[in-house]
Structure 1
């Protein structure tokens, strides 16, 4: 799977699940179904991924796992994402809300536990899973054009990531950039620019692996503000970075941005020609 040999991986996983069932090894069954589900998810086989995630969860719950177990919630989050991709809005909404409510309730209960009852790592993992759930629901809401709701989720996810991972962690900077996109869509351009500018600057300092995405996002926000020269400079910088990284999707996004920028410039020029300044 790590080497991208997905068909070969699928063959080995089918052998593994047969052996796991033959030996009645529940942990092996859960582990293998989880791997098979993730593989199907990556391959875009969403209906198959849904069935496999449900099978893994069924074995976990019948084996005594709690509904708010982080592993159960991780699978529930994948299912919600699958439903969102399939435009099954009611199921997606229910799934995201289940994950968030379960994690928030779990964290609230943990506050009353004695200090030695829970490791820092367990507490951190649960908070980060809450952040991931908020991020996933924010993406779903943004795709559904519910930008104000998306902003709220992004802000909460960003706060968790800042507290647990620090301000230069790649996920923190990605959340800053995504929040900026949502703010920009709401017309809150100044806030959006401040947020994405901070992400780009911190990304340069820390060597963000997807710096081209951050720069491209900033270019788009500047374009919406009418700062065409700076926008073009950043689009071209992002394009070179994306080409170097071999990110075809980002290359296409940068090229589309440059085309839109050219159209907007032409429109502005035409507008000036149609409405020349009156002579004194």
Structure 2
């Protein structure tokens, strides 16, 4: 009964859903403007939020010190209560596994993972996913290269990336991509839908890995990962698909950061042409990125025009993040003009 989940193949220290999962990820990610004009290196935690159950953190302000201390104590008590509940659920699940009651264990683990997400308890999330994978293997539901195993592994890799546990993150991303690349060589035996889903899941893994590589300034590696992800998205979903354009935009970001401003311009020009034709929801964000590339090329007047167009669209849409990015870009543009660069 000591079955070993595929997750442990890369965890040595012991969906695009696929299409739906990637599309969900795109919706979450495009809310974050990855502008090249005033690019600032951010932590990977702000770039990748692969877990759909994570909830936003509510910030509190204007409270007195006394009131805050009471709130903190209350919050700590609530957190401890949830942690105790998770531990109890995991113990029950383990007992069910030992007794061979796998369906009961699976139900309990789903409750535990929900609580772990709600309390942002990453250790509990990792441990629970491991147990869920083991139960699935014991039930005979999953193979090592099953897409569900890859999705769980990708989530774990993203958690490790957010924790700056570099070795484990890289092992996770490499496990996901290499396993799927090998699986794709045997796709003839799969249905058309499963073939598409598997390729799209590989695209999601490559996209996530590329963003992690970019966050660590591994730009050449990020460029390679993005090229592969773009090819998959274009072949399966089409060149003008919203996800394809987001990936091409990200590729332009990497090229610009590498100093390849002309190549970045060509890539962004294609993105903008397709975004205008299709009415892409992030068209205004793409304009900001093009403005940044033009600024880096020294085309200050043209860059300003793009910033103004982006600002107008962002204000109409009420997109405060893009408005802020435009203002930052205009300030940088003015500074470059003063310094004549």
Mapped partners of 2:268, 2:247: distance in 1: 10
CA positional deviation for 1:85: 1.3
Q: 1:168 to 1:34 in 2, by over 3 A?
A: farther
TM-score, structure 1 normalization? 0.79
Q: Give structure 2 stretches of 5+ with no counterpart.
A: 1-51, 59-84
CA displacement 1:93-124 (0-9 Å, x = unmatched): 0000000011011111224x3xxxx2111000
Matches within 5 A, 1:5-154: 24-25=103-104, 28-29=107-108, 39-40=117-118, 46-64=122-140, 65-111=142-188, 113=189, 118-154=190-226
1:192 equivalent in alignment to 2:264 = yes
CA displacement 1:44-86 (0-9 Å, x = unmatched): 6544543443343333233221121111101111111111111
Counterpart position of 1:222: 294
CA positional deviation for 1:240: 3.0
Mapped partners of 2:309, 2:214: distance in 1: 27
Moved over 6 A (4+): 4-7, 20-23
Q: 1:96 to 1:249 in 2, by over 3 A?
A: same
Counterpart position of 1:275: none
CA positional deviation for 1:140: 0.6
Q: 1:35 to 1:184 in 2, by over 3 A?
A: same
Counterpart position of 1:10: none
Mapped partners of 1:102, 1:29: distance in 2: 29
8 Å CA contact 1:161, 1:171 repeated in 2: yes
CA displacement 1:199-221 (0-9 Å, x = unmatched): 11101111112212211111111
8 Å CA contact 1:83, 1:89 repeated in 2: yes
8 Å CA contact 1:34, 1:56 repeated in 2: no
Aligned to 2:186, the other structure's residue is in SS state helix
Deviates most, 174-183 or 252-261: 252-261
Deviates most, 28-37 or 190-199: 28-37
Mapped partners of 1:207, 1:82: distance in 2: 33
Aligned residues: 254
8 Å CA contact 1:33, 1:53 repeated in 2: no
